[in-house]
Amino acid sequence: MSDDFKFYVGLGQWVFMAAIGFYAWLSNRQAATADDVANLATRVTKVEEQLRHLPDLAMVNELAGDMKAVKSELTAIKESIVPLARSMDRINDYLLNRK
Protein backbone atom coordinates (compact mmCIF):
# COMPACT_ATOMS: atom_id res chain seq x y z
CA MET A 1 0.00 0.00 0.00
CA SER A 2 2.80 2.39 0.81
CA ASP A 3 4.38 1.83 -2.63
CA ASP A 4 1.09 2.55 -4.39
CA PHE A 5 0.61 5.70 -2.35
CA LYS A 6 4.13 6.94 -3.19
CA PHE A 7 3.56 6.15 -6.85
CA TYR A 8 0.30 8.09 -7.02
CA VAL A 9 1.71 11.03 -5.08
CA GLY A 10 4.71 11.12 -7.44
CA LEU A 11 2.42 10.84 -10.44
CA GLY A 12 0.16 13.59 -9.10
CA GLN A 13 3.16 15.80 -8.43
CA TRP A 14 4.49 15.21 -11.93
CA VAL A 15 1.09 16.00 -13.54
CA PHE A 16 0.74 19.14 -11.40
CA MET A 17 4.23 20.39 -12.34
CA ALA A 18 3.62 19.60 -16.01
CA ALA A 19 0.37 21.61 -15.88
CA ILE A 20 2.15 24.56 -14.24
CA GLY A 21 4.94 24.37 -16.82
CA PHE A 22 2.47 24.26 -19.68
CA TYR A 23 0.56 27.24 -18.25
CA ALA A 24 3.78 29.23 -17.81
CA TRP A 25 4.88 28.43 -21.36
CA LEU A 26 1.48 29.39 -22.78
CA SER A 27 1.24 32.66 -20.84
CA ASN A 28 4.81 33.71 -21.71
CA ARG A 29 4.21 32.94 -25.35
CA GLN A 30 1.23 35.29 -25.49
CA ALA A 31 2.60 38.06 -23.27
CA ALA A 32 4.62 40.85 -24.83
CA THR A 33 8.00 41.44 -23.28
CA ALA A 34 9.37 44.87 -22.45
CA ASP A 35 11.78 44.63 -25.38
CA ASP A 36 8.90 43.92 -27.77
CA VAL A 37 6.99 46.93 -26.48
CA ALA A 38 10.08 49.14 -26.77
CA ASN A 39 10.71 47.95 -30.34
CA LEU A 40 7.11 48.64 -31.29
CA ALA A 41 7.24 52.08 -29.71
CA THR A 42 10.38 52.88 -31.71
CA ARG A 43 8.79 51.66 -34.93
CA VAL A 44 5.63 53.68 -34.32
CA THR A 45 7.71 56.78 -33.63
CA LYS A 46 9.58 56.31 -36.91
CA VAL A 47 6.35 55.86 -38.85
CA GLU A 48 4.83 58.95 -37.24
CA GLU A 49 7.92 60.95 -38.17
CA GLN A 50 7.71 59.80 -41.78
CA LEU A 51 3.99 60.57 -41.92
CA ARG A 52 4.63 64.06 -40.61
CA HIS A 53 6.74 64.82 -43.68
CA LEU A 54 4.19 63.57 -46.21
CA PRO A 55 2.31 66.22 -48.20
CA ASP A 56 -1.22 67.05 -47.16
CA LEU A 57 -4.27 67.06 -49.45
CA ALA A 58 -3.98 70.76 -50.34
CA MET A 59 -0.37 70.32 -51.44
CA VAL A 60 -1.23 67.26 -53.53
CA ASN A 61 -4.04 69.18 -55.24
CA GLU A 62 -1.68 72.09 -55.90
CA LEU A 63 0.89 69.72 -57.42
CA ALA A 64 -1.81 68.16 -59.61
CA GLY A 65 -2.75 71.61 -60.91
CA ASP A 66 0.90 72.44 -61.58
CA MET A 67 1.31 69.16 -63.48
CA LYS A 68 -1.71 69.99 -65.65
CA ALA A 69 -0.16 73.38 -66.44
CA VAL A 70 3.16 71.76 -67.37
CA LYS A 71 1.32 69.24 -69.55
CA SER A 72 -0.51 71.98 -71.44
CA GLU A 73 2.75 73.90 -71.94
CA LEU A 74 4.42 70.76 -73.30
CA THR A 75 1.55 70.28 -75.72
CA ALA A 76 1.98 73.87 -76.92
CA ILE A 77 5.73 73.34 -77.35
CA LYS A 78 5.10 70.17 -79.38
CA GLU A 79 2.73 72.06 -81.64
CA SER A 80 5.25 74.84 -82.17
CA ILE A 81 8.03 72.36 -83.01
CA VAL A 82 6.07 70.68 -85.83
CA PRO A 83 6.48 73.59 -88.33
CA LEU A 84 10.14 73.93 -87.34
CA ALA A 85 10.69 70.24 -88.06
CA ARG A 86 9.02 70.60 -91.48
CA SER A 87 11.24 73.59 -92.26
CA MET A 88 14.33 71.65 -91.22
CA ASP A 89 13.26 68.74 -93.45
CA ARG A 90 12.80 71.09 -96.38
CA ILE A 91 16.23 72.67 -95.79
CA ASN A 92 17.79 69.23 -95.49
CA ASP A 93 16.16 68.05 -98.74
CA TYR A 94 17.29 71.22 -100.51
CA LEU A 95 20.86 70.82 -99.35
CA LEU A 96 20.93 67.10 -100.25
CA ASN A 97 19.43 67.60 -103.70
CA ARG A 98 21.47 70.70 -104.59
CA LYS A 99 24.84 69.00 -104.27
Same domain, 39 and 61: no
The pLDDT score that the predictor gives to residue 71 is: 96
- pTM of this prediction exceeds 0.85: no
Number of domains in the chain: 2
Same domain, 39 and 18: yes
Residues of the chain with pLDDT below 50 are none
Distance (Å) of CA 99 to CA 24, 26, 92, 94: 97, 94, 11, 9
17 close to 25: Cβ distance less than 8 angstroms: no
Nearest to 32 by CA among 43, 23, 40, 21: 40
pLDDT tens figures, 23-49: 988 877 766 677 778 889 999 999 999
What domain range includes position 26?
Answer: 1-54
